[in-house]
A = this chain, B = another copy of it.
Amino acid sequence: MGNKIITLLTDFGTKDGYIGAAKGVIKRINPQAEIVDITHDIDSCDVFGASFALNNFYRYFPKGAIHLAVVDPGVGSQRQPMLIKTKDFFFVGPDNGIFSFTYEREDLTDIVVISNKKYFLAELSSTFHARDIFAPVAAYLSLGVKTEEFGLPAKECMKFIIPRPESKGKGLKGQIIHIDRFGNLITNFPADLLEKQKIAEIRVGKRRIKGISASYFEIKGLGALIGSSGFLELAVNQGSAQKLLKAKVGEGVGIDFE
């Protein structure tokens, strides 16, 4: 059943009907395909944000699910269309780093540069590969076409350098890597890094946070907790840490251990 599921994550919005065309293409090739909208509201051209969002959901789907992720400012350039297979999932999208967070967790069993025009839409544009290449490839995958049919194997694919926390004095220096819909500031401190030592203080701008809360509800003012993405988050209970701190992605966050 699983490989009938095709999830969609894009920055196309919905109001222009563009992504509707991609859905039609999928259903025409495989009427049994089950399309699951994840989002079309990724900030325009925010490949990093797309990669982060993808990491939050992909592994919860049934084995065999096909994850289509298209934030594609390089459409029509030399960037390649890619198909990646891991133990449990398929990923289809541009080779621009959009799968970077996924590569951290998964062994890639197949990497294929998509080139077989048999699986493209007959009329191929140079502006809309979500409709013309990625949607039909995902649909044919869901029909059971083998990965090697779509093109030639590749050894690697593009990855962002995901910034890692660095040692500094008695603590660590990291940064904000994502700001979510609630204004929570998600840092690059993974949960397991913080389990080993007791946190004395978290610093962001001129603010100091003492210790880690168990839930948003426990936080008074500005607080910190391990969020559902598996990273340290700075948050305000029923408010926006982003607005409070006027924070931006890339801003530094320091941790001092006891």
Q: A interface vs B, CB < 8 Å? A: 1-2, 5, 7, 9, 12-25, 27-28, 31, 35-45, 49, 52-62, 65, 73-77, 125-128, 131, 178, 180-182, 214-218, 225-229, 237-238, 240
Cβ of B61 and Cβ of A228 under 8 Å apart? Answer: no
Contact B38 A1 (CB under 8 A): no
- Interchain nearest-CB distance for A190 vs B (Å): 15
Chain B residues, Cβ within 8 Å of A17: 9, 38-39, 52-57
Q: A15-B49, A19-B38, A75-B216 are in contact. List 19 more A-B contacts (CB 8 A).
A: A2-B31, A5-B27, A7-B24, A13-B39, A14-B41, A15-B181, A17-B39, A18-B181, A20-B38, A27-B61, A35-B36, A45-B238, A60-B131, A73-B216, A75-B217, A76-B215, A125-B226, A127-B227, A128-B228
Whole-angstrom CA separation of A170 from B21 in the bound complex: 36
- Please state the number of chain copies in the assembly: 3
Q: Contact: B27 with A14, CB < 8 Å? A: no
Are A131 and B27 neighbours in the complex by a CB distance under 8 Å? no
Residue among A5, A7, A127 facing the most chain B CB atoms (10 A cut-off) = A127
Our pick among B22, B128, B180, B216 for the contact of A76 (Cβ within 8 Å) is B216
| Contact residues in B for A36 (Cβ distance below 8 Å) | 20, 23, 27, 35
Q: Is the CB of B18 within 8 A of A41?
A: no
Chain B residues whose C-beta falls within 8 Å of the C-beta of A35 in the assembled complex: 36
Asked if B13 and A181 make an inter-chain contact with CB atoms under 8 angstroms apart, the answer reads yes
A-B pairs, 5 with minimum CB distance: A76-B215, A24-B60, A20-B57, A17-B53, A13-B181
Residues of B within 8 A of A22 (CB): 60
Which residues of chain B are within 8 angstroms of A49 by Cβ–Cβ distance?
15
User: Using Cβ atoms and an 8 Å threshold, which residues of chain B touch A61?
Assistant: 23-24, 27-28
Taking a contact as CB atoms under 8 Å apart, the answer to whether B24 and A238 are in contact is no
Chain B, Cβ-Cβ closest to A78: B217
